[in-house]
């Protein structure tokens, strides 16, 4: 009888365990986005980081902007600032100052933050953006994230060779349609299945570059749509 009672207890515990696990609240790696000192050309943002990160180290918390109010953050001309974190369990408050071209007073500027690993996968976020109407005189009070916006994060390629050739398809055997110079930045739209070429905005249309040997990508590039 005692062994039967023990078996029943174990079975009940096993049946209950998935329910308990599913009911446990998810822990966000970053939270509580706020924007403090802000003008029409600068914004200082902070997040709480719980100290734990999953994926491939190193890990980066990114702060980025939407200046044209299209809901896409971190496009070319919209700066992104990265803070490297260790993921070793030490909770921190992380902050970064973002500087950008001076906007017209009264313009709406939105800020969000997210975490990515070294392979370009999201670890946490993007968080609900903070949006403010800018003034030339600095505003100092903290703003809460209450916009209701679902942000999209852009991927940007920055060229680190003297010339990156742009092709019509993800192959050097396709048509050469132009080139990009050292330091140029372009918005990235998609990638090929092998993840060695990316599709970019180019010349009023699109083109392809072999990014692994010619460009550095920022944003969650591993989550780009695969089109070829």
Using pLDDT thresholds of 50, 70 and 90, give the confidence band for residue 14. very low
Which residue intervals of the chain bear CATH 2.60.40.10? 30-153
Mean pLDDT of the chain: 88
Using pLDDT thresholds of 50, 70 and 90, give the confidence band for residue 18. very low
Using pLDDT thresholds of 50, 70 and 90, give the confidence band for residue 28. low
- C-alpha dihedral, 182 to 187 to 193 to 194, nearest 10°: 20
In the three-class reduction of DSSP (H, G, I as helix; E, B as strand; rest coil), residue 149 is classed as: coil
Which residue intervals of the chain bear CATH 2.30.30.40? 155-223
What is residue 11's predicted lDDT score, i.e. its pLDDT? 35
Chosen CATH of 30-153 out of 3.50.30.50, 2.60.40.10, 2.40.50.140, 3.90.1170.40: 2.60.40.10
**What's the pTM?**
0.83
According to the CATH classification, is domain 155-223 in 2.30.30.40? yes
In the three-class reduction of DSSP (H, G, I as helix; E, B as strand; rest coil), residue 22 is classed as: helix
Residue with tokens 């070294």, as numbered in its chain: 118
Distance CA 197, CA 225 (A): 12
């Amino acid at each position: 009888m005692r062994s039967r009672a023990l078996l029943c207890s174990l079975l009940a515990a096993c049946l209950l365990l998935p329910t308990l696990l599913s009911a446990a609240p998810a822990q966000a790696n970053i939270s509580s986005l706020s924007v403090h000192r802000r003008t029409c050309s600068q914004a200082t943002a902070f997040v709480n980081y719980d100290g734990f990160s999953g994926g491939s180290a190193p890990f980066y918390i990114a702060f980025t902007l939407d200046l044209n109010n299209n809901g896409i953050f971190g496009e070319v001309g919209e700066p992104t600032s990265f803070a490297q974190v260790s993921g070793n369990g030490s909770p921190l408050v992380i902050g970064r100052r973002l500087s950008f071209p001076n906007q017209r007073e009264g313009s709406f500027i939105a800020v969000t933050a997210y975490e990515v690993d070294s392979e370009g996968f999201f670890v946490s976020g993007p968080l609900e953006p903070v949006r403010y109407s800018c003034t030339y005189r600095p505003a100092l009070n903290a703003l809460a994230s209450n916009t209701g916006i679902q942000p999209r994060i852009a991927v940007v390629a920055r060229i680190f060779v003297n010339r990156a050739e742009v092709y019509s398809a993800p192959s050097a055997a396709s048509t050469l349609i132009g080139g990009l110079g050292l330091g140029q930045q372009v918005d990235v739209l998609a990638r090929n299945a092998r993840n060695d070429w990316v599709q970019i905005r180019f010349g009023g249309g699109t083109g392809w570059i072999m990014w692994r040997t010619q460009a550095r990508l920022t944003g969650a590039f591993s989550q780009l749509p695969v089109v070829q």
